[in-house]
Amino acid sequence: MNRFEGPGSGEAKIKYLDGDYHVVAPGAFVRCAITGTPVPLEELKYWSVARQEAYLDVIASLKAETE
């Protein structure tokens, strides 16, 4: 079993805030808005409050800003 399987291991629903986020519906990960890659919540560092999107890394975040 990998870390995205089992109870409570689906995609989380998140409200992105300035410097933090609030879990609306529990889950183990969110999807990057640019790549579609699952991002484990414990590794989530990049998101947009204005667009309410998560990003895999700084490159995906920059791409979202420039599109």
In a domain, residue 17? The reply is: yes
CA 6/CA 21 separation, integer angstroms = 23
In a domain, residue 30? The reply is: yes
pLDDT band at 9 (very low <50, low <70, confident <90, very high): confident
Q: What is the pLDDT of residue 1?
A: 42
**How do the residues of the chain divide into helix, strand and coil, expressed in percent and rounded to 5?**
20, 35, 45
Count structural domains, the chain: 1
Residue range of the domain that includes 52: 1-57
pLDDT digits (tens, 9 = 90+) for 13-62: 999 999 999 999 999 999 999 999 999 999 999 999 999 999 999 999 99
In a domain, residue 62? The reply is: no
In a domain, residue 63? The reply is: no
